[in-house]
């Protein structure tokens, strides 16, 4: 075969594919963040081993079939000017039996380990210690995370202990999603109304990238999350920290941002689930927001949104999209659509619809959110938040932002509970106090009796007075 024949038009086009071969091989690099070849857990290990086993069977079949094909083409090709018709074979029982039995044997060889893996991975093993259960609820386009029975709620970042089995119990709030952490386990579709479970374990500490793997709308490609596997002692410390109150705000920007947050952001985002009653009520609160959005989508101003409790301890922003720092957070607050197209924050939140969010507001909100961190374990904190400085209204605003804003807006729009604008015209101090310390005594018509009891022990008498002063100012 001379060079001229090799470079015929059809073959020269094939040569253009050669530069893409290295790129194809690079895509198989097991060090990539979402590579299924660089596994870090027993579920992913077994799935990768099964894939490699089937891959080599496929390689053998490929070379046998293609080798036979090439051999036949070369052996029985037309030679010279010989135009005679070769001998024709019409049926060969022996060959037909062989090429039927061989594929059956191949399929059996593939099916046996595949079925075994499917059954072996149907839930965590029962003989390898306690299993940590985590509830995951998919939303367009973020992840709600709850540790049931632990009073811990967060979003988009999942903490797990290294070496312990975890069972994810999953559901969807809207459309079909798919939960996938490539280095730890295969993906599982999440279907609205259908509870699905997926078990996995991390053998090594580290951040593992996760992704929604089922098209779910405009921001699907940016619906990410992180799984942070840490040593058990560090995990226990994190769990404990999520149940501690936030540190006292230090900067003036953060204090101003707290007020701005309470007035503009608290209708959708909660920052108070460090408190047990609020954590246990968070699913009800988010369901109420979802229902309010569906009831009137054209004019909706609220929707279920990520929990921001102790937000300053997180590593990422925008559902695992970008690293969290002051600049990225300000960019997100100023124009969330510019960072993550399709998210509903800019369409629904009043400050964007009214164009009332100034650059100072953006900076102050970012400062406030970044200071949302838990106090040290040995710290003694009597107040839920805010400290003792400022006027009664200012102290009450801080208490409201930390404990009440998850269910009540400061406007007229309802969340789980009614909006509190103009509350002073609806009842006197005694009525407001009774609603705080004994919420089941008077339930506003049309709302569930969902407010948890116990705020008389959460707040001191002075803090309740501050809260009443703030509510009367709305």
| Cross-strand partners of 200 | 166
Residue 83 lies in a domain: no
pLDDT score for 47: 94
Higher pLDDT, 358 or 7: 358
What CA–CA distance (Å, rounded) separates 78 from 67?
A: 19
Q: How confident is the model at residue 458 (pLDDT cuts 50, 70, 90)?
A: low
282 and 387, same domain (yes or no): yes
For residue 214, what is the DSSP state? S
pLDDT(384) > 50? no
Residue where a domain terminates, one of 122, 144, 166:
122
pLDDT(380) > 50? no
Residue 11 lies in a domain: no
Phi then psi dihedrals of residue 225, to 5 deg: -160, 170
CB-CB contact of 312 with 352 (8 Å)? no
What is the domain extent for residue 105? 38-70+92-122
Residue 18 lies in a domain: no
Angle, CA of 40, 43 and 48, to the nearest 5°: 75
Q: What is the mean pLDDT of residues 434-461?
A: 74
Q: How confident is the model at residue 146 (pLDDT cuts 50, 70, 90)?
A: very high
ω before 141 within 30° of 0 (cis)?
A: yes
pLDDT in tens, 1-27: 454 554 455 556 667 777 777 767 666
264 and 166, same domain (yes or no): no
pLDDT score for 449: 67
197 and 290, same domain (yes or no): no
What is the pairing mode between strands 157-161 and 152-155? unpaired
Residue 85 lies in a domain: no
pLDDT in tens, 264-289: 888 889 998 998 878 888 888 888 88
Residue 6 lies in a domain: no
Residue where a domain terminates, one of 192, 209, 241:
241
Q: What is the mean pLDDT of residues 378-384?
A: 54
54 and 115, same domain (yes or no): yes
The fraction of the chain above a pLDDT of 90, given in percent, is 47
166 and 315, same domain (yes or no): no
233 and 270, same domain (yes or no): no
267 and 407, same domain (yes or no): yes
pLDDT in tens, 394-428: 788 777 866 776 567 777 767 667 888 888 888 78
| Cross-strand partners of 254 | none
What CA–CA distance (Å, rounded) separates 266 from 258?
A: 10
Following DSSP, what letter does each residue of 109-157 receive, concatenated? HHHHHHHHHHHHTSS--TTSS--EEEEEEEETTEEEEEETTTTEEEESE
304 and 390, same domain (yes or no): yes
What 3-state class would DSSP assign to 32?
coil
443 and 465, same domain (yes or no): yes
Question: Rounded mean pLDDT of the chain?
Answer: 86
Cα distances from 338 to residues 236, 260, 330, 341, in angstroms, run: 37, 22, 12, 6
CATH number for the domain harbouring residue 230: 2.60.40.420
The fraction of the chain above a pLDDT of 70, given in percent, is 89
Residue 154 lies in a domain: yes
Residue 456 lies in a domain: yes
258 and 405, same domain (yes or no): yes
47 and 185, same domain (yes or no): no
Whose tokens are 């060090």? That residue is 31
Q: What is the domain count for the chain?
A: 3
CATH number for the domain harbouring residue 345: 1.10.760.10
210 and 348, same domain (yes or no): no
CB-CB contact of 468 with 404 (8 Å)? no
Q: How confident is the model at residue 44 (pLDDT cuts 50, 70, 90)?
A: very high
pLDDT score for 213: 95
Q: How confident is the model at residue 440 (pLDDT cuts 50, 70, 90)?
A: confident
pLDDT(182) > 70? yes
pLDDT(194) > 60? yes
Residue where a domain terminates, one of 241, 266, 300:
241
Residue 4 lies in a domain: no
């Amino acid at each position: 075969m001379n060079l001229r024949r090799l470079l015929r038009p059809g073959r020269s086009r094939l040569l253009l594919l050669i530069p893409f071969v290295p790129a194809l091989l690079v895509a198989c690099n097991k060090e990539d963040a979402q590579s299924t070849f660089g596994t870090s857990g027993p579920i992913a290990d077994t799935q990768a081993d099964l894939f490699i086993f089937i891959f080599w069977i496929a390689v053998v079949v490929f070379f046998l079939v293609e080798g036979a094909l090439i051999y036949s083409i070369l052996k029985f090709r037309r030679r010279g000017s010989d135009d005679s018709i070769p001998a024709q074979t019409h049926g060969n029982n022996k060959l037909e039996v062989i090429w039927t039995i061989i594929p059956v044997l191949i399929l059996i060889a593939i099916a046996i380990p595949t079925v075994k893996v499917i059954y072996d991975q149907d839930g965590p093993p029962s003989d390898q210690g306690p299993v940590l259960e985590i509830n995951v609820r998919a939303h367009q386009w973020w992840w709600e995370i709850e540790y049931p029975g632990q009073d811990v709620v967060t979003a988009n970042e999942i903490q797990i202990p290294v070496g312990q089995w975890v069972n994810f119990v999953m559901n969807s709030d809207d459309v079909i999603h798919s939960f996938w952490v490539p280095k730890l386990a295969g993906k599982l579709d999440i279907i609205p109304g259908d509870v699905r479970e997926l078990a996995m374990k991390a053998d090594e500490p580290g951040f593992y990238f996760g992704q929604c793997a089922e098209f779910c709308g405009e921001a699907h490609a940016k619906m990410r999350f992180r799984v942070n596997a840490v040593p058990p002692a560090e995990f226990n410390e994190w769990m404990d920290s999520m149940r501690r109150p936030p540190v006292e705000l230090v900067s003036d920007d953060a204090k101003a941002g707290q007020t701005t947050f309470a007035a503009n952001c608290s209708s959708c985002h909660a920052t108070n689930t460090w408190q047990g009653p609020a954590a246990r009520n968070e699913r009800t609160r988010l369901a109420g927001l979802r229902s309010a959005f569906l009831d009137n989508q054209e004019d909706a101003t609220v929707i279920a949104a990520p929990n921001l409790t102790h937000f300053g301890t997180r590593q990422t922003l925008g559902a695992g999209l970008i690293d969290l720092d002051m600049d990225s957070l300000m960019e997100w607050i100023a124009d969330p659509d510019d960072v993550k197209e399709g998210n509903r924050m800019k369409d629904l939140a009043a400050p964007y619809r009214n164009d009332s969010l100034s650059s100072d507001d953006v900076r102050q909100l970012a400062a406030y959110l970044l200071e949302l961190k838990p106090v040290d374990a040995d710290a003694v904190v009597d107040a839920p938040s805010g400290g003792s400085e400022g006027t009664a209204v200012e102290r009450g605003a801080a208490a409201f932002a930390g404990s009440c804003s998850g269910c009540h807006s400061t406007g007229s729009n309802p969340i789980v509970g009614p909006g509190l604008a103009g509350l002073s015209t609806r009842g006197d101090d005694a009525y407001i106090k009774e609603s705080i310390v004994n919420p089941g005594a008077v339930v506003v018509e049309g709302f569930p009796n969902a407010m948890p009891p116990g705020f008389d022990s959460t707040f001191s008498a002075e803090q309740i007075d501050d809260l009443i002063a703030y509510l009367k100012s709305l």
